[in-house]
């Protein structure tokens, strides 16, 4: 099953994106208790911290911050100075990553560490490569494709998870939001990523069933942390390419929109997609084509089917 563009429009996508683009004054609230999604146009460390303060009520103990640290010299990854400022205000937090499945220096821990240094992360923090010492299975409750997914073993060392995501397109996923950041990003390079990507016949199997496997991988992580997980999507430097493409990423053609934060993974990813769809046709067309040609909207509908969050949300603009 995949959502068509017409179906998606019917779900009220316009208003959230119009708020982000300055095209509408307010968001009509759903009658049933919508999730809260906070939004700021302030693309800065200060804007990031302001939103985090609104969604961090259950974040405590040892805190993992999952973000994409990028391929060598990746042009669109999150600004390091933002992450430095964030970590300074959240002293129990540590950036976490996992090795990758595709051909990259980041396939190995040694190459991954070289890339972290090259991209400037080691100048102010140490990154925990969670599958450096292997992986561990997390159960997938209610999944129809996966019964478990292998995540980096070090994930179990943390009490809370902050999902800090550079929202962008993706060559297989259509788009990469909070769901992809934890589903693929926390899966181990050696095993977990292959479990999600493979359909049993080929490793790089895309389409709606890949979206479903990715959602199931994400559900394993959200179930593991329960209420001790929160989400931030940064909508800047958005190419149709993922940060995994590094310097080969397609040019950025979308305007920068702002930062979103929520404790609801479905609401924040839907709000992010809504903002793209609400842009003028000439601005959004290439990203919409990327999302729909890959069945990317299936991420959202399957998260709803698995009870991972709400697709009804209140957008609160700061």
In the chain, beta strands by DSSP E = 35-40, 63-66, 93-97, 128-129, 135-139, 148-152, 160-166, 168-170, 174-176, 229-235, 258-262, 313-317
Burial class (CB in 10 A: 0-12, 13-18, 19+), 133: exposed
Q: To 10 degrees, the CA torsion angle through 164, 39, 21, 208? A: 50
Write down the pLDDT at residue 276: 98
pLDDT in tens, the chain (318 residues): 334 433 433 343 433 444 444 443 333 333 468 999 999 999 999 999 999 999 999 999 999 999 999 999 999 999 999 999 999 999 899 999 999 999 999 999 999 999 999 999 999 999 999 999 999 999 999 999 999 999 999 999 999 999 999 999 999 999 999 999 999 999 999 999 999 999 999 999 999 999 999 999 999 999 999 999 999 999 999 999 999 999 999 999 999 999 999 999 999 999 999 999 999 999 999 999 999 999 999 999 999 999 999 999 999 999
pTM, to two decimals = 0.90
The CATH class, in words, for 5-21+34-317 is: alpha beta
Please give the backbone phi and psi of residue 121, each rounded to the nearest 5 degrees, phi first. -75, -40
Write down the pLDDT at residue 7: 43
């Amino acid at each position: 099953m995949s959502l068509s563009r017409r179906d998606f429009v019917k779900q009220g996508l316009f208003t959230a994106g119009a708020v982000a683009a300055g095209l509408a004054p307010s968001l009509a609230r759903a009658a049933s208790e919508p999730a809260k999604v906070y939004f700021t146009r302030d693309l800065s460390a200060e804007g990031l911290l302001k939103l985090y303060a609104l969604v961090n009520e259950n974040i405590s103990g040892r805190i993992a911050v999952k973000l994409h640290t990028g391929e060598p010299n990746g042009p669109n990854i999150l600004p390091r100075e933002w992450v430095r400022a964030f970590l300074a205000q959240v002293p129990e937090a540590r950036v976490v990553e996992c090795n990758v499945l595709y051909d990259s220096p980041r396939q190995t821990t040694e190459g991954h560490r070289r890339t972290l240094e090259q991209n400037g992360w080691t100048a102010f923090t140490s990154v925990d490569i969670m599958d450096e010492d292997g992986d561990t299975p997390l159960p997938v409750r209610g999944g129809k494709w996966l019964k478990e997914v292998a995540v980096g073993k070090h994930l179990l060392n943390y009490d809370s998870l902050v999902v800090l995501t550079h929202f962008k397109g993706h060559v297989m996923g259509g788009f990469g939001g909070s769901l992809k950041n934890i589903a693929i990003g926390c899966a181990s390079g050696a095993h977990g990523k292959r479990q999600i990507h493979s359909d049993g016949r080929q490793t790089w199997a895309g389409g709606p069933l890949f979206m479903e496997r990715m959602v199931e991988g994400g559900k394993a992580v959200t179930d593991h942390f329960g209420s001790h997980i929160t989400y931030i999507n940064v909508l800047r430097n958005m190419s149709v390419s993922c940060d995994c493409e590094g310097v080969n990423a397609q040019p950025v053609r979308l305007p920068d929109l702002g930062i979103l934060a929520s404790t609801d993974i479905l609401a924040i990813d839907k709000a992010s997609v809504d903002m793209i769809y609400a842009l003028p046709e000439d601005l959004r067309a290439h990203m919409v084509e990327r999302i729909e040609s890959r069945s990317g909207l299936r991420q959202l509908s399957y998260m709803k089917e698995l009870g991972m969050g709400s697709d009804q949300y209140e957008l609160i603009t700061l």
